[in-house]
Structure 1
């Protein structure tokens, strides 16, 4: 699988960003897909082929880097400059690399589909997370 190469320093929320603050449950880089643990309430890296259902459903994109127990801002919806080169119109999904993002062509057999959003341009991703709960 080929994940989108994100430059963390270039991740910026758009004007219509809906974001929340929280605490990181592990080291997380800006631009990584995350979910909030139901037990610890901390933000963790999402992963499309995790054995744990909760982990397979991303809830947002980290807007800043954080280590364990540090504050983190999470972009939940709206536009985000993702710090990567995108193809306008392309759908972007959660990958099987913890926190990674990839196009549909790189979602493999046995992975759960979690649509992160659609590329509005070569730099901006319109985040609208959809999780149908089905695997390929």
Structure 2
């Protein structure tokens, strides 16, 4: 399998979702997983399950899915918890994880040896992911 294919124009937060605003630190597309680099730039960057730092791998509360596209220095809204329509085909009841591709979302089978396991959430339908990020701190063997 591969990362899910997201339609950026179809990324929409669901009722009750928690959203925060900030500044992009890279070119980000709606639907990509991002983290807040609070130690160096104070901006949102692509999250990545095989990144060098724990924050970029999903550790901490400042991780979510971009709701809009932005270039470095532009405003960005990030959904940090709750339902989100991704404009992608999901399998209801399936867990989705942070991908080793920066900003990507993947099924568990796509994680490679050495990638850190960060659960993003469960699909509640074929189009909605209930974002509830859980960082394991454990790399796949």
The TM-score, its normalising length taken from structure 2, stands at 0.94
More strand by share: 2
Measure, in 1, the Cα distance between the counterparts of 2:120 and 2:24: 20
CA shift at 1:43, angstroms?
0.3
Which deviations, in whole Å up to 9, do the C-alpha atoms of 1:113-135 show, x marking residues without a partner? 01000000000000000001110
Task: Please report the RMSD computed on the Cα atoms of aligned residues, expressed in angstroms.
Answer: 1.0
2:23 matched residue in structure 1: 23
What is the SS of the residue equivalent to 2:116?
A: coil
1:108 matched residue in structure 2: 112
Measure, in 1, the Cα distance between the counterparts of 2:136 and 2:50: 14
2:44 matched residue in structure 1: 43
Match of 2:131 among 117, 127, 130: 127
What is the SS of the residue equivalent to 2:129?
A: strand
Range 126-135 or range 47-56, more displaced: 47-56
CA shift at 1:87, angstroms?
0.2
Runs of 4+ with deviation above 3 angstroms: none
2:90 matched residue in structure 1: 86
Question: Tell me, which stretches of 5 or more residues in structure 2 are unaligned?
Answer: none
The alignment status of 1:34 with 2:34, answered yes or no, reads yes
CA shift at 1:3, angstroms?
0.5
The alignment status of 1:99 with 2:103, answered yes or no, reads yes
Measure, in 2, the Cα distance between the counterparts of 1:112 and 1:82: 23
What number of residue pairs does the alignment pair up? 136
1:11 matched residue in structure 2: 11
The TM-score, its normalising length taken from structure 1, stands at 0.97
